[in-house]
Chains A and B, each alone.
Chain A
Amino acid sequence: MQIYLPIAEVSVNAFLLVGLGGLVGILSGMFGVGGGFLMTPLLFFIGIPPAVAVATEANQIVASSFSGVLAHLRRRTVDFRMGTVLLVGGLIGAALGVVIFNWLKSLGQVDLLVRLSYVVFLGIVGGLMFLESLRALLRAKRSGAPQRRRHNWVHNLPFKMKFRVSGLYISVIPPVLVGILVGILAAIMGVGGGFIMVPAMIYLLGMPTKVVIGTSLFQIIFVTAFTTLLHATTNFTVDIALALLLLLGGVVGAQIGTRLGTRLKAEQLRILLAAMVLLVCGKLAADLLIQPSELYSLGAGE
């Protein structure tokens, strides 16, 4: 069934959109990532104008994250305290990100820089996670005994705060910095930023994997809601019909994903996410390196 999207001004298959939403929703529930880093390029691919894809994706992430967070709330795997600290950083970061974005736009080449930052960030995060979880898997097979968390420089900073749900007593500086970084990326790359935040929470802050996902979803809801409003009021590029179709699939997918996630071991979950991040990174890198079949592209003039 074809449906005409009022803001995107294109006609697309409604079932395709629901299906895409569902697929990305499953990933979102499983890994605690918003799925924007997958969905946004997929929307470009089916012919949605990039500006509309980015803005609408933010709105859709709100829905799938909210649905996911409710499932985590019931299992008490959301660290509100940590989430709020991350959120403070996130909102500052998002505002900074918009400023940076507009500055890059005035220089031209914003498109390239967005792509490059995707490749660099996805590559680093995916590579590190893949190696680490591979090591963890092998170690688990050999010894079976879980390793005790080591103390690192993060534990020697001031402004310490107790995060009971995470079982941590650490400084608020690293989580705020992580939040700011994620906020900047969210605004520039049009994603929730979970794919950066989840590994940062695990490896940098040393949070238990169990609470990482719920907490990251909690933060993502607010950052993407803020981004949605920003896009809706300045660029008029949020397509509510597109969002509705994506989130019909997305919210159901997120519920399924959350349940699937509890069945898998943390190491398996991490290695799967890492593989996926690397896959998207590889595709984006290939697009930059291989000669495109059409060298020219069209954009709206002033």
Chain B
Amino acid sequence: MIRALGLLLCLLPLGAQAEEVVLGLSRDQVAITATFEGDDILVFGAVRREAPVPEGPALEVIVTVAGPDRPVIVRKKDRRLGIWVNTEAIEVDSAPSFYAVTTTGPLNEILRRTEDLRHRISIPRAIRSVGAPAEIADPAAFTRALIRIRRGEQLYQSLEGAVDLERDTLFRTEVDLPANLTEGDYEIRIFLTRGGRVVDNYTTTIPVQKVGLERWLYTLAHERPLIYGLMSLALAIGAGWAASAAFRAFRA
């Protein structure tokens, strides 16, 4: 019994608990104000160990930041009677509105495919598409298009080598959030890998939300739409009148 326990203790450092993530964030929320131009989150932390640094493959760090998942319709244009029309469409069941992967090295070298499948780390894995209608020949092209378009808008980013790892212990990375963010809880995940295997992971969330005037207008528009609509009209009429009066005074 004691021998078995001793064996277990010997094995333990090789298991999942050998190296643990201790995380810090530069902020506890992202506030969308009237002059919001995008923001950046500094993700930093340390690797805690009970034992000395294990031998073998080097420690690698992967940090992902994911916005709320939403269904997306991807439409494809085709030429019909000489004009370009939307023809085929696929509904992607759930795709993050924002997704960034930053790593210490090339993702395909520091992460095995099976681990990627399990933890949904790379961008294509973060998108969930259950089934496409049978008449669509190449459904994968639609997912690729989704990634291509969102990459172009800086909504999907993969920054290989952007995580700084010092003395196998301290790591830090910065993720730039673009201005066109969807509100919600953003999930930050940190994975430690050795030889392509995930040895520890840690998950936390950071809320991204509108504040102040932005919050007030958004709430009013959704909860009191008639009042909001009338307010918009009053503003329009008022501005129209003010400009007219100002010009008359100016000419007089």
Is B201 in the interface zone, CB < 8 Å from A?
no
CA distance A11 to B182 in the complex (A): 12
User: Residue-by-residue, is B72-112 near A (CB-CB < 8 Å gives 1, otherwise 0)?
Assistant: 11111111001111100001110000000000000000000
Interfacial residues of chain B within 38-97, with CB under 8 A of chain A in the complex: 38, 70-79, 82-86, 91-93
Is A216 in the interface zone, CB < 8 Å from B?
no
Q: Which of B35, B148, B232 contacts A59 (CB 8 A)?
A: B232
CA distance A70 to B238 in the complex (A): 12
Is A229 in the interface zone, CB < 8 Å from B?
yes
Is B130 in the interface zone, CB < 8 Å from A?
no
Is B17 in the interface zone, CB < 8 Å from A?
no
Interface size in chain B (residues, C-beta < 8 A):
63
Q: Which residues of A contact B237 (CB under 8 A)?
A: 62-63, 66
Known contacts A71-B244, A252-B243, A301-B73, A232 near B235 by CB under 8 Å: no
Q: Are A251 and B239 in contact (CB under 8 A)?
A: yes
CA distance A238 to B221 in the complex (A): 8
- Chain B's closest residue to A25 (CB) is B243
Interfacial residues of chain B within 217-232, with CB under 8 A of chain A in the complex: 217-218, 221-222, 225-226, 228-232
Is A236 in the interface zone, CB < 8 Å from B?
yes
Is A300 in the interface zone, CB < 8 Å from B?
yes
Is A248 in the interface zone, CB < 8 Å from B?
yes
Is A297 in the interface zone, CB < 8 Å from B?
yes
Q: Are A228 and B232 in contact (CB under 8 A)?
A: yes
Smallest beta-carbon distance B140→chain A, Å: 12
CA distance A64 to B244 in the complex (A): 10
Interfacial residues of chain A within 1-49, with CB under 8 A of chain B in the complex: 1-4, 6-7, 9-11, 47
Q: Are A67 and B229 in contact (CB under 8 A)?
A: no
Q: Which of B36, B85, B244 contacts A67 (CB 8 A)?
A: B244
Q: Which residues of B contact A301 (CB under 8 A)?
A: 70-73, 91-93
Q: Are A229 and B86 in contact (CB under 8 A)?
A: no
Q: Which residues of A contact B149 (CB under 8 A)?
A: 294, 296-298
Q: Which residues of B contact A231 (CB under 8 A)?
A: 229
Q: Are A63 and B73 in contact (CB under 8 A)?
A: no
Q: Are B239 and A63 in contact (CB under 8 A)?
A: yes
CA distance A30 to B70 in the complex (A): 45
Q: Are B217 and A10 in contact (CB under 8 A)?
A: no
Q: How large is the interface on A (under 10, 10 to 19, 20 to 34, 35 or more residues)?
A: 35 or more
Is B37 in the interface zone, CB < 8 Å from A?
yes
User: Residue-by-residue, is A88-122 near B (CB-CB < 8 Å gives 1, otherwise 0)?
Assistant: 00000000000000000000010110000000000
- Chain A's closest residue to B144 (CB) is A296
Q: Which residues of A contact B38 (CB under 8 A)?
A: 11
Q: Which residues of A contact B225 (CB under 8 A)?
A: 232-234, 236
Interface residues of A (CB under 8 A from B): 1-4, 6-7, 9-11, 47, 59-60, 62-68, 70-71, 74, 109, 111-112, 225, 228-229, 231-234, 236, 238, 240-241, 243-244, 247-248, 251-252, 254-255, 287-292, 294-302
Interface residues of B (CB under 8 A from A): 32-38, 70-79, 82-86, 91-93, 142, 145-146, 148-150, 179-183, 210, 213-215, 217-218, 221-222, 225-226, 228-233, 235-237, 239-244, 247-248
Nearest 5 interchain pairs by C-beta: A301-B71, A232-B229, A11-B179, A66-B240, A251-B243
Other A-B pairs beyond A6-B215, A10-B179, 16, CB < 8 Å: A4-B37, A6-B221, A47-B180, A71-B244, A225-B233, A231-B229, A232-B229, A236-B222, A238-B229, A238-B232, A287-B84, A289-B84, A292-B77, A294-B145, A295-B76, A299-B74
29 contacts between A and B (CB under 8 A): A2-B35, A3-B35, A4-B36, A6-B217, A10-B180, A62-B233, A67-B239, A70-B240, A225-B236, A228-B229, A229-B226, A232-B232, A234-B225, A238-B232, A240-B221, A240-B231, A241-B217, A247-B240, A251-B240, A252-B247, A255-B244, A255-B247, A291-B84, A295-B145, A296-B75, A296-B146, A301-B71, A301-B92, A302-B71
